[in-house]
Each structure stands twice: as C-alpha cells, then as structure tokens.
Amino acid sequence: MAHQEPSSLSDSTWNVVDKIRQSPPVDLSKPYDTSTLSGKSILITGAASGFGAAFARHWASHGANIFIGDLNDTAGEQLIAELRSSSPSQHHAYFHCDVTSWNDQVSLFKSAIAASPTQGIDCVVAGAGIVDVANSFDTPKSLDSNNEPVQPKLKVVEVNLKGVMYTTHLSLFYLPRNSTPESEKRDRHILLVSSVAGIMPLPSQTEYSASKHAVMGLFRSLRSTSYMNHGVRLNVINPYFVETPLLTPGGRVLLAGAPKGKVEDVVDAATRLVADEGIVGRALLIGPKMKVEEDDWMPSLDSPGGEEEGKRSRAVWEIYGHDYEKVETFVWRYLTMLNVLKSVYGWKKTAMEWWGIFRGGSSSQQ
Ligand SMILES: NC(=O)c1ccc[n+]([C@@H]2O[C@H](COP(=O)([O-])OP(=O)(O)OC[C@H]3O[C@@H](n4cnc5c(N)ncnc54)[C@H](O)[C@@H]3O)[C@@H](O)[C@H]2O)c1
C-alpha cells in the first residue's frame, strides 16, 4: 500500500500532542486557582533553602502538607517547625537525604508516604541542586601525584542529574500509588527544576550547564509518556539568575547591577504548574520583570515606577511553546521520511538486481 504523506501537521494521524495529552501553551495572563493546593502532599528535595524553602512556605500557607529531603538538617528542621506553627496542616516533616544516594531517596519517599495524611504523595519537586564554584571541569589540574591527569569529580552531575533522575524514577513508582481506590484519582505531578542554563550555554559553568541541559532532555523525553502511561503530569521551570545561597561569589560580582529574577516570580510560576491540574508537559522560564505587549519581541526591562501605558510587566515566559507541534513532529516526519527513503532504496536495490537478471548480468540472486 502506498505511503500517505500527512496533508498537514494538524492531521490527526500525526498529532503527537493528542496522543501524549500535552496541554496547550500556558496562558500566563490568566489567574490560577490555588485552592487545589489544600490537602496535597508535596515532597520537595533541596527545600531547606532557596526556591524549595519558598515553595514550602507558600504551598503550606495554602493547606498543603510539605515533606522535605535535604542535607542541611538544621535549616530543614527549623523550616518544618516554622511551617507547623504558621500553616493549616501539621503534617509537615523533614528527612535527611543525600539525593545522590539511592537508599537515601527510597527511604525519603517511604518516610514521606508514612507521614502523609493520605498515605500517598501527590507532587514531587526535584529541587536539590549545586553549582561548581571552581568550575573545575574546564580547568583541569595538570597532573596528580602519580603524574596522571586528575579525574574530575563530576559532583554537580551527581546531584543535578543523577539525583534528579533518582527522584523522577521514584516519583513514577510512588505517585501512581497515591489513589486508592483508583476511581478517586488524585492529581499526580513531577516538577523538575532546570535553569536558563538548561536552554542556553553558561560559559564558566560547563558542568552545571550540561547537567541542566540534561534535565531538559529528561523532561522532553518523559513528558511524552509520563501522563499517557502513569497519569503523572510532568512540567519544568527554568529560572534565570536569582538571589539565593546558590549564586557563587564570582556570579554575584559578574551580575552586580544587572537585573536578576525574583524568588517570588519563581514561586508564582511553580505554583501555577502545581496548582493548575490541567497543565501537562510545559516549561516556564522565569527572568527579571520586563514590560511587553502581546507578541512583542522587543521587551524593555522593568524599572521602578510601575506599568508603562499599554504594556504589562511579566517575569514568567512559556518556552518550547509549540515544540511537539513544530519540533518533535518535525522529527517524527523526518524519521518517517528516512524510513520511506530506506524502503524506496530497498525497492530500488531489488529492482536493480532483477534488472541485472533480466539483462543476463551477474547478480547476488543468481
Ligand atoms: N538561584 C538561581 O539563580 C537558580 C537559577 C536557576 C536554577 N536554579 C536551580 O534551583 C534549584 C534550587 O536552587 P536554589 O537557588 O534554591 O539554591 P540553594 O542553595 O538555596 O538550595 C539548594 C538546596 O539543595 C540542597 N542540596 C544540595 N546538595 C544536596 C544533596 N546532595 N542532597 C540533598 N540536598 C542537597 C542544599 O542543602 C540546599 O538546601 C537548583 O536545582 C538550582 O540549580 C537556581
């Protein structure tokens, strides 16, 4: 049967978006409903500090139960004590966890499930991350004591990629077990934390940038199956530089006077993805606030003094807005084209061989 080329990208046979149930680009001008946060059990790695701690405070204030896994026991325990005294739920807990250790992470998930009032976890944020202050990857030490090149430690990859992959893998195991009976299905969500360094290079932070690009690879691959196969929504945030303990002294010097993102805007973007249970497979970038008009690609940086006439300020941007329609679908078409070429080549080869027989020449068929 002849191969049929799709008439357009929206041809239903070719509409990958429908198959994987990716939701349309996020309308960031619309308000979202935070009431869905109430009663959600949310596990956050790396929440003793920075973004994770800000997520924990905000979501707990809306009635979520917060479970934290981190290395910083003092800060983690303090935050849990604060949440217990200030938020509606008392079901918050801290657990020591090194995300690079599989056993630590298994025990984190089990402990959080045991402490959850629903005996399940509804949302996981893979937030733990580090930078390589010395940028040791592209400044190799010449020789070790045996006159050999020094092996790089790759600690950033261990935490930011291996740790995130363990968290994601365990989430895919435990999140689908959050609803008993299955008829009362609760929301299931994984929120990955990449960075602008996941979509563009960050010179002098090679290992960090590589690890955050890898998180985007994880996101882009998995979002096509996590909802379809497990009913787990998968989304990602890509913050620009934001003032947290993660910023290196060198980074602070480089960025002195330059606009940075704000923790509250990162919290806003993450909260939208966690609270709006219809968002599946989307990536949001968070940067300094800029004034824009709709479809305006020449935004101006925000300055104190409020909105300019006709323009509104925004810090959160939808990225990869149409990638399944415009990018991944292209790849599918490209692969199909290659397959068609291969089959045509196969046919051509066979025809040539028969042509050879017909002409009485030599052929492998003879
Ligand atoms: N701050 C920024 O400019 C920025 C920008 C883009 C992305 N990010 C990402 O956001 C995430 C959170 O960073 P942050 O800015 O809140 O930094 P942060 O340093 O304030 O928080 C990171 C947390 O991770 C914990 N952690 C580190 N290694 C760990 C390990 N092995 N196991 C468990 N916990 C560990 C730390 O103890 C800390 O509490 C990171 O993934 C980071 O890469 C940050």
Contact 86, 33 (CB under 8 A): no
What count of Cα atoms within 13 Å lies in the side-chain half-sphere of residue 290?
A: 17
Q: Whose CA is nearest to atom 36 of ligand 1?
A: 46
Which tokens is 217 given? 């690879």
Q: For ligand 1, say whether the CB of 20 is within 6 Å of any of its atoms.
A: no
Looking at the CA of residue 72, tell me the nearest atom of ligand 1: 37
Q: For ligand 1, say whether the CB of 51 is within 6 Å of any of its atoms.
A: yes
Q: Let me know whether 1 and 45 are in one domain.
A: no
Q: For ligand 1, say whether the CB of 97 is within 6 Å of any of its atoms.
A: yes
CA–CA distance, 248 with 142 (Å, rounded to integer): 24
Domain harbouring 49, CATH code:
3.40.50.720
Q: Let me know whether 270 and 348 are in one domain.
A: no
In the block, which residue shows the tokens 């981190």? 70
Q: Let me know whether 219 and 292 are in one domain.
A: yes
User: pLDDT tens digits for 26-43?
Assistant: 999 899 999 999 999 999
What count of Cα atoms within 13 Å lies in the side-chain half-sphere of residue 249?
A: 1
- Tell me how far the alpha carbon of residue 291 lies from the centroid of ligand 1, in angstroms: 29
Q: For ligand 1, say whether the CB of 116 is within 6 Å of any of its atoms.
A: no
- Tell me how far the alpha carbon of residue 33 lies from the centroid of ligand 1, in angstroms: 27
pLDDT band for position 2 (cuts 50, 70, 90): very low
CA–CA distance, 38 with 264 (Å, rounded to integer): 20
Q: Let me know whether 208 and 180 are in one domain.
A: yes
User: pLDDT tens digits for 318-336?
Assistant: 887 666 666 666 666 666 6
Active site residue 324: no
Q: 89, 111, 116, 194: which one is catalytic?
A: 194
CA–CA distance, 123 with 167 (Å, rounded to integer): 11
Could you give the 3-state DSSP secondary structure of residue 271? helix
Active site residue 194: yes
Residue 354's domain spans which residues?
A: 1-17+324-366
Q: Let me know whether 202 and 282 are in one domain.
A: yes
User: pLDDT tens digits for 240-296?
Assistant: 989 899 987 777 777 777 778 999 999 999 999 999 999 999 999 998 887 766 555
Q: Let me know whether 289 and 342 are in one domain.
A: no
CA–CA distance, 193 with 242 (Å, rounded to integer): 13
Q: For ligand 1, say whether the CB of 120 is within 6 Å of any of its atoms.
A: no
To test ligand 1's pocket by mutation, which of 45, 49, 255 has the most ligand atoms within 8 angstroms of CB? 49
Q: So what's the pLDDT on residue 337?
A: 66
Q: Which amino acid is it at 163?
A: G
- E strand or H helix that includes residue 66: strand 65-70
Q: Let me know whether 3 and 80 are in one domain.
A: no
CA–CA distance, 127 with 46 (Å, rounded to integer): 5
Q: Let me know whether 134 and 224 are in one domain.
A: yes
Q: For ligand 1, say whether the CB of 113 is within 6 Å of any of its atoms.
A: no
- Tell me how far the alpha carbon of residue 61 lies from the centroid of ligand 1, in angstroms: 22
Picking from 50, 22, 29, the residue whose alpha carbon sits closest to that of residue 128 is: 50
Distances (CA, A) of 290 to 305, 308, 316: 13, 11, 9
Backbone phi, then psi, for 236, in 5-degree steps? -145, 150
- The mean predicted confidence, pLDDT, of the chain is 84
Q: For ligand 1, say whether the CB of 28 is within 6 Å of any of its atoms.
A: no
User: pLDDT tens digits for 56-73?
Assistant: 999 999 999 999 999 999
Q: 40, 211, 212, 289: which one is catalytic?
A: 212
Q: Which CB contacts under 8 angstroms, 24+ apart, belong to 179-182?
A: 179/120, 180/120
Active site residue 212: yes
Q: Let me know whether 108 and 247 are in one domain.
A: yes
Q: What is the mean pLDDT of residues 296-314?
A: 56
Q: So what's the pLDDT on residue 183?
A: 61
pLDDT band for position 77 (cuts 50, 70, 90): very high
Q: Whose CA is nearest to atom 41 of ligand 1?
A: 129
CA–CA distance, 43 with 113 (Å, rounded to integer): 9
Mark out the alpha helices in 62-205 (DSSP H runs).
73-86, 102-115, 155-157, 164-174
Q: Let me know whether 74 and 5 are in one domain.
A: no
Picking from 244, 233, 193, 250, the residue whose alpha carbon sits closest to that of residue 216 is: 193
In the block, which residue shows the tokens 């290395």? 71
Least confident of 46-50, 213-217, 257-261, 339-343: 339-343
Q: For ligand 1, say whether the CB of 76 is within 6 Å of any of its atoms.
A: no
CA–CA distance, 317 with 268 (Å, rounded to integer): 12
Q: Give me the number of domains the chain comprises.
A: 2
Q: Let me know whether 187 and 334 are in one domain.
A: no
Q: Let me know whether 253 and 142 are in one domain.
A: yes
To test ligand 1's pocket by mutation, which of 51, 97, 107, 213 has the most ligand atoms within 8 angstroms of CB? 51
User: pLDDT tens digits for 154-187?
Assistant: 999 999 999 999 999 999 999 999 987 666 789 9
CA–CA distance, 335 with 329 (Å, rounded to integer): 10
Looking at the CA of residue 76, tell me the nearest atom of ligand 1: 39
- Tell me how far the alpha carbon of residue 69 lies from the centroid of ligand 1, in angstroms: 12
Q: For ligand 1, say whether the CB of 54 is within 6 Å of any of its atoms.
A: no
